[in-house]
Each structure stands twice: as C-alpha cells, then as structure tokens.
C-alpha cells in the first residue's frame, strides 16, 4: 500500500467513525472539499502534505474509534511553547 492509499484508508475510517462525508473530511483536513476525491480518482499529492494530513487525522481521531489495523499511527507533534 502506498502513502496515498494508506492516507485514504485512514480518512475513510475517520469519516465512518465520525459519520462524515468524504468531502467534509477533505475540508477539515485540507481546506478543500474535493481533495480526497481527487486522490481517490488517481490524483497525486506531495509526501509532506500526505504526512500532515495523516498527522491531522491522528491528532483528531475519535476516542471511541479504533485506528486502522496494519497502519502505523503518527506520533503526536510537540506544540511549540510561546
């Protein structure tokens, strides 16, 4: 499974857990409602942006949901202290 396929699997699990549409998850993660559709249809995205999206999903993962089996969960980023 490549990075985009992995990301899409996690995004789908998040959408299911939160009972949200794919376009809503896309808006929450990337600020554009069609980005996930674009990726699912074979579009591409840079590795850093995919990693940021996966990190967003991890940091906002519902407590009641199980992270997808077989996919490594990103470690939380330390917030900068001002």
Q: Where are the domains of the chain?
A: 3-59
Q: What is the C-alpha end-to-end distance of the chain, expressed in Å?
A: 39
pLDDT digits (tens, 9 = 90+) for 51-80: 999 999 999 999 999 999 999 999 876 664
What span, in angstroms and rounded, lies between the C-alpha atoms of 66 and 64?
7
pLDDT digits (tens, 9 = 90+) for 2-44: 999 999 999 999 999 999 999 999 999 999 999 999 999 999 9
pTM of this structure: 0.88
Residue 19: left if φ>0, alpha if ψ -120 to 50, beta else—which one?
left
Token output for 17 = 């857990």
Using the structure block, give the residue that is written with the tokens 């519902």: 62
């Amino acid at each position: 499974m490549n990075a985009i396929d992995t990301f899409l699997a996690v995004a789908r699990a998040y959408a299911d857990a939160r009972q949200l549409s794919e376009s809503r998850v896309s808006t929450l993660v990337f600020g554009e409602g069609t980005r996930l559709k674009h990726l699912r249809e074979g579009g591409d995205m840079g590795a850093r942006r995919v990693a940021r999206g996966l990190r967003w999903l991890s940091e906002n993962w519902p407590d009641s949901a199980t992270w997808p089996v077989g996919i490594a969960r990103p470690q939380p980023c330390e917030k900068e202290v001002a």
